[in-house]
Amino acid sequence: MNFSTPVKASRLNLSSLLADFTPNTKTWSRIKAALSVHRKGLGNDVHSGVWISNADLSDAEKVYAECGQQRPLPWEECILPQRMKQCLKIGEGTFGEVFSTNNESGDTVALKIIPVEGSEKVNGEDQKTFGEILHEIIISKELSSLKEKQHNQTHGFIGLKDLHCVQGCYPADFLKAWDTFDQQKGSENDRPAVAKSILHQVTAALAVAEQELHFEHRDLHWGNVLVKTTKQKTGSFLINGTTHSLETRGVLVRIIDYSLSRLEIDDLMVSCDISNDEELFMGQGDYQFEIYRLMRQENGNNWAAYHPHTNILWLHYLCSKLLSMKYRGSGGRTAKDMREELTGFYDNVLQYSSATEVLQSCPMFQ
């Protein structure tokens, strides 16, 4: 089954918490980028003696700056023709498509392509605005940088290798890959021990991001959890200065898609205000849609405030999906015990306040 966010989020409302704040150079560029996302016509604001002009750059120019560009570029300047020929479509979501290819080093990388501010609808939805893309760019960069932090560190979020703003029609090689895309269905999954490792890795990544960035994903459906095989026996993460390890069980997990996410960078808060997006809360037929309503119930429809229990709601959802899957070799005692452990996690995880508390206190991860 293909899970994706059901409808387009409303226009962003990025807020800042700048009381008694003197920005350094790195943070200042982020502040200007985020504040420019406010609706046009707000004029100039003064926060704690800092003069900020909302009119200095457009949202499009902010995106170009994040990409290291001055204008949109043609496709061939961003992706070499030989790399285009190697492209395979590997997924799709509400707002765009995901392809894979090889980079200059021969490593496999994912290409996420999101149409912006065009007139044609994508999967029945309006294309994203530059302001909405800017929100996701900022969050993607911050989460990608967690792999390099000294106090809270994780590789659990997809790494951002490069960023481009291109203009023009889809290249022929992409269209060919699009036409041959056929999502695999009905396959059996690995043993329940793998399911436990997936939950452990997702929980660890969320916990690190909570501690470092006051992060909520807010849209962690099954389609936003990438799983790949690995020969690594163990993985590691750093939380509050202490290194921890976990068993991979042969898989590595990477979290993606931050369209609805919320975090804080120093004293700057970046979030997506979906308070008026009623369609998002009207979905039926899957537990995923209930999670959106539960989040709104918990935060009182205030999407600027920090409520890490929303991460718990998504862990509960992910566990429900893992329990519903059919596993190879699931008849032995070890597999039965593991499924019982997953069931115990599902029954008890909602009592925790955050992914950090789950990681530290849940018996399944001790």
Residues at the binding site for ATP are 112
Query: Does residue 218 sit in helix, strand or coil?
Result: coil
On the 0-12 / 13-18 / 19+ scale of CB atoms within 10 A, 348 is middle
Q: How far apart are CA 93 and CA 260, in angstroms?
A: 14
Active-site position among 59, 173, 190, 219:
219
Q: What angle do CA 52, 10, 12 make, to 5 degrees?
A: 15
Assess whether 219 carries a catalytic annotation: yes
Spatial neighbors of 342 by CB under 8 A, at least 6 apart, are 192, 195, 196, 199, 319, 322, 323, 364
Residues in the chain: 366
Beta strands in the chain (DSSP E): 44-47, 50-53, 88-92, 97-102, 108-113, 225-229, 234-239, 242-247, 251-255, 263-265, 268-270
List the catalytic residues: 219
